[in-house]
Amino acid sequence: MGELSRPVRVVVGDRVRFDGQLRGVLAVSALAVTLTDGERPHRVVPLLELFEAEGFEVVASPTRMPLPPVSLLETLPKPVLEKALWWEGHVLEVLHGLPPGARPDAAPRPGYGPGRSLTARQQVKAAELRAAGHRVTASAVAHHRRRYQQDGVLGLVDYRPVRKKPEFGSVDKRIVAAMREAIGEGVDASTKTGSYLLWRTGEILKGSEEGREVTLPSRATLYRVLAKLTEGTYTFGTATTRRSKAHGAKTPFGELPAFAPGQVMQIDSTPMDVMVLLDSGVPGRIELTGMIDIASRTLSAAVLRPTTKSVDASVLLARTVTPELMRPGWAEALRMSRSVLPHRRLLSLDERLEHAAARPVIVPEMIVCDHGNVSISRNFKASCRFLEIDFQPAHKGSGFEKGHIEKMLASIATLFVQFLPGHLGRSADHRGRHPERDRLWSLLELQELLDEWIVAHWQNRPHDGLRDPAHPSRMFTPNEKYATLVEACGYVAVALSGDDYIELLPAEWRAVNDYGIKIKHRVYDSPELDPLRRQDSGITAKRGLWEVHRDPYDVSRIWVRNNRDEGRPWIQATWKHLHRAPVPFGDLAWDHVSHQMPGATAKEIADAVAALLTRAHTGPDTDSRAKPTRRDRRVAARTKAAGPATPLPIQTTTEPAPEPVPAPAEERLADVIPLGLFDPLEDPWRRR
């Protein structure tokens, strides 16, 4: 029995040769089939007529030609490209029977019509080209046809400009595998040089049966292979970055979304590349601990310490959720009331913001940290539980998971630290000669400069990560982004109450003596301590000592837990020599050094930043070349009488104030009204 001459089936999508043309099958029914037609939208042909038609055949659907890479075509010389396009026209006629650009009703030329195989068409095409003067064989036509079907137009040109070279050339794959192994061994080790890795590659090859038969190429070739394998791995860079890259995510990076202030915050510590005068008067280095809000990029708090301890993270958290008060000498433009922050809305919730600087108060919902002793300490975890904050440590060796705080700490080094005297540079290679001989700032002075820089510069600096989604070319500042998020998500900051603030401060256990309480050679006293003097607290585990909370960045006062009176759980005691502090703080001093202006402009903020960096670079004024005027002395004296010097919240001091300097008869000064400072024991919502 002979083979069937008709197809087993015809389905939609097939291509058939009918009535001398190649047509597509649009629909199939039990009696007829719908075909494409050049002159009409379609043509319905009965199945019997279709199958009995002369030259009918089902043609395999041709594979779509790949789109040529335009960039590579543009690099080809014009004669070469024209030759390729010339070949394309002949190959298409061999494949489809019609040259490109033929009319819909055109019929194939003799030799290319229905029933002719590809081999026959290739032979006809070769004879045609030879008659035209081209030295072409049928095998050459077949070769060009196969290359065109595989690579498109590029298959018809010289392959050398676009050929794919092996990644490592002719180097044996076993050498590449051994070198990868040597590089992998150094991820957690100290940084080595390239010569060591080449030696280690040879040792690995010698230790394997297959590698002993490998002949190593020249050292130049090995170094080229090594450069390709180590690109982006920091094999010859810093060990910390290398470990972070190697142990990081192997899948596409995701991003933890943050749409509201405080939704996700990050905390970290790093040594500061600057020397300061410590309490002992000896120059030394310090550490910086900071916290940043991801949604607004607000640097909510940053503290400096000689050595960061676990209690410092809790103090940092307390500073994050309390207002930053204006300090004497700060520009008027730095007030929250003159910034883009929603001051009026927040002022109705917390009266302490009346004298606050332009730094948002943010209550964290989640804090991301590393596995350092400071961040994972029991003290910090307890503070997070107390404030109902989600504590989320990052994976070990995955610094990218808290990349925002890492970048922020690096930005402080370039934007602020390098302007300071005693700058050390990021490494010993970048260090100058005798930086300890500069006019160094003390730790407390540098802390105040840093606080001012955060309010003046960081919070008003456009950030590349805070772009407007609708207008990507526009960048927001952290303060602008915070104000925008407040309008978008309805976020309202609720700062800590006074008792909560004190609870977050680190605790010490001290005796209440006749003279008061001594901490670090400073004596603190208050008349309210009279019932507690030389008395036992009743806590036998602490030998009857009293629990004392204090802010390590504020030496002006402490708080003693009062076990005898539940109505007033805390007693504030003030440093005895607080009235001798050199920095005045009060309404009179503030009015003397500032000017009442309706609104802060960008120029005013820029001038404040420039003045801050100039003052920071100059260092502390130790020679006192500028002699104060008579009015300056009166202002300082009257302000000192009004209240103690401190940048943080206090109550009215119990220390007797010195007599104010009398003003001359010809000039009457206004009455001194103390600045409304944050009192942690005062209810901010009560009516006055």
The number of domains in the chain is 5
One domain, residues 197 and 86: no
Residue 674: which pLDDT band, with cuts at 50, 70 and 90? very low
Q: Is residue 620 part of a domain?
A: no
Q: Are residues 390 and 476 in the same domain?
A: yes
- The answer to whether residue 649 scores a pLDDT higher than 70 is no
CA distance 305 to 444: 9
Are residues 368 and 481 part of one domain?
yes
Query: Could you identify the residue written with the tokens 């008349």?
Result: 527
Look at residue 613 and tell me if it is in a domain: no
CB atoms within 10 A of CB 484: 16
pTM (2 d.p.): 0.58
Residue 162 vs residue 89, higher pLDDT = 89
271 and 326 belong to one structural domain: yes
- At residue 48 the predicted structure's pLDDT band, cuts being 50, 70 and 90, is confident
Burial class (CB in 10 A: 0-12, 13-18, 19+), 360: buried
pLDDT for 658: 47
pLDDT for 457-490, tens place per residue? 999 999 988 887 777 888 899 998 888 888 777 6
* Cβ–Cβ < 8 Å for 157, 76: yes
Exposed/middle/buried for residue 224 (C-beta within 10 Å: 0-12, 13-18, 19+) = middle
Q: What angle, rounded to 10 degrees, do the helices at 173-185 and 194-206 form?
A: 120
Collapsing DSSP states into helix, strand and coil, what is residue 126? helix
Burial class (CB within 10 angstroms; exposed 0-12, middle 13-18, buried 19+) of 170: exposed
> Does 629 map to a domain?
no
Same domain, 377 and 473: yes
Query: What average pLDDT does range 593-600 have in this prediction?
Result: 43
CATH number at residue 391: 3.30.420.10
Per-residue pLDDT at 2 exceeds 70: no
**Residue 42 belongs to some domain of the structure:** yes
pLDDT of 137 > 70? The answer is yes
Summary mean pLDDT of the chain: 77
Are 235 and 277 within one domain?
no
**Which tens digits make up the pLDDT trace of 268-320?**
888 989 998 887 778 888 888 899 999 999 999 888 888 777 667 777 887 88
Question: Are 75 and 54 in the same domain?
Answer: no
Mean pLDDT of 584-605: 44
Q: Does residue 282 form part of some domain?
A: yes
- Whether residue 516 is predicted with pLDDT greater than 80 in this model: the reply is yes
Look at residue 664 and tell me if it is in a domain. no
- Please list the residues that pair with 617 across neighbouring strands: none
Percent of the chain whose pLDDT exceeds 70 = 76
- The average pLDDT across 165-178 equals 87
The answer to whether the CB of 303 falls within 8 A of the CB of 289 is yes
149 and 283 together in one domain? no
Report yes or no on 598 lying in a domain. Answer: no
Q: Are residues 140 and 93 in the same domain?
A: yes
pLDDT for 227 beyond 80: yes
* Residue 23 lies in domain: 15-59
For residues 256 and 93, the model is more confident at 93
Query: φ, ψ for residue 25 (rounded to 5)?
Result: -90, 115
Q: Where does the pLDDT of residue 677 fall: very low under 50, low under 70, confident under 90, or very high at 90 and above? A: very low
Spatial contact of 263 and 295, defined as CB atoms under 8 Å apart: yes
> CA–CA separation, 36 vs 25, rounded Å?
7
Does 297 share its domain with 359? yes
Instruction: Name the H helices within 363-402.
Output: 378-386
Last residue of a domain, one of 162, 182, 203: 162
Please report the DSSP string for 582-643 in residue order. Answer: SS--SHHHHHHH----SS--HHHHHHHHHHHHHHHHH----S--SPPPHHHHHHHHHHHHH-
**Any domain includes 590:** no
Do 475 and 527 reside in the same domain of the chain?
Answer: no
pLDDT at residue 294 in the model? 92
Contacts of 351 (CB under 8 A, 6+ apart): 676, 684, 685
- 481 shares its domain with 335: yes
The pLDDT tens digits of the residues spanning 365-400 come to 898 888 876 677 777 777 788 778 888 888 776 777
pLDDT of residue 62: 55
